[in-house]
């Protein structure tokens, strides 16, 4: 079994919260399906990922900010951190539109926890800009979301310790929107497991 990483990439929390199997395929196996949607997201991030600082009125903008948490053992880049009226606000840019899953929220909350650890300042909320809808979604960092984020980090390390590719346990409506569906082949795997008498029923909260 490969040794555990010292720090887990922040972006991988997004993948894990969406699907544990997706997390494994991307982080451990290094799988990446490059399609039109993925390339669109890359181009949209080019300006944000250029780095640097700027000012818009009283607002200061920091682009591509490296963050880490020694307590949670996660590290990575925030697309943008804005400073407004003395508050630090992490902003994440996403290609699509707001979905019903919380994977984007968990990634953003992890950034906030890192930012708090690095600066000693409370981060109350962040924002997600969705390119397709051209809207910003405000995300409050509630105790519930913070707890869910810490559970996601712990689960990621637990999966890596187990050293096994998770079984497909998501409803196909969710798999259909995943770029790794042709690589993961969830329907085919479920049929094989069903023939072998094993169950991969979706988790209750995601039915």
Radius of gyration of the chain (CA): 18
String of b and e for 44-60 (b: at least 16 CB within 10 Å)?
bbeebeeeeeeeeeeee
Break the chain down into helix, strand, coil percent, rounded to 5: 45, 25, 35
Q: Please give the model's pTM, rounded to 2 decimal places.
A: 0.84
Which residue segments constitute the domains of the chain, with CATH numbers given? 8-165 (3.90.320.10), 167-207 (no CATH)
Note the maximum CA span of the chain. 63
Six-digit token string for 72:
């949670």
The pLDDT tens digits of the residues spanning 24-78 come to: 999 999 998 654 444 444 444 555 556 688 998 889 999 999 999 999 999 999 9
Is the pLDDT at 204 greater than 90? The verdict is: no
Q: Average pLDDT of 121-139?
A: 92
pLDDT tens digits, one per residue of 70-118: 999 999 999 999 999 999 999 999 987 777 789 999 999 999 999 999 9
| Whether pLDDT at 167 is above 70 | yes
- d(Cα 111, Cα 77) in Å, to the nearest integer? 8
């Amino acid at each position: 079994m490969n040794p555990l990483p010292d720090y887990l990439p922040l972006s991988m929390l997004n993948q894990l919260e969406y699907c544990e199997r997706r997390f494994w395929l991307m982080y451990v196996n290094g799988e990446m399906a490059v399609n039109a949607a993925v390339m669109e997201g890359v181009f949209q991030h080019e300006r944000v990922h250029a780095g640097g600082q700027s000012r818009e009125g009283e607002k200061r903008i920091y682009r591509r900010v490296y963050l880490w948490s020694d307590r949670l053992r996660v590290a990575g880049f925030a697309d943008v951190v804005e400073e407004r009226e003395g508050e630090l606000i992490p902003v994440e840019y996403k290609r699509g539109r707001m979905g019903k899953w919380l994977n984007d929220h968990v990634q953003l909350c992890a950034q906030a926890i890192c930012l708090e650890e690095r600066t000693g300042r409370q981060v109350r909320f962040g924002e997600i800009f969705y390119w397709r809808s051209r809207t910003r979604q405000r995300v409050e960092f509630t105790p519930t979301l913070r707890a869910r984020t810490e559970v996601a980090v712990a689960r990621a390390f637990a999966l890596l310790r187990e050293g096994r590719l998770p079984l497909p346990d998501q409803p196909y409506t969710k798999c259909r929107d995943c770029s790794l569906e042709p690589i993961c082949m969830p329907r085919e795997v479920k049929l094989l497991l069903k023939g072998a008498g094993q169950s991969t029923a979706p988790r209750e909260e995601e039915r």
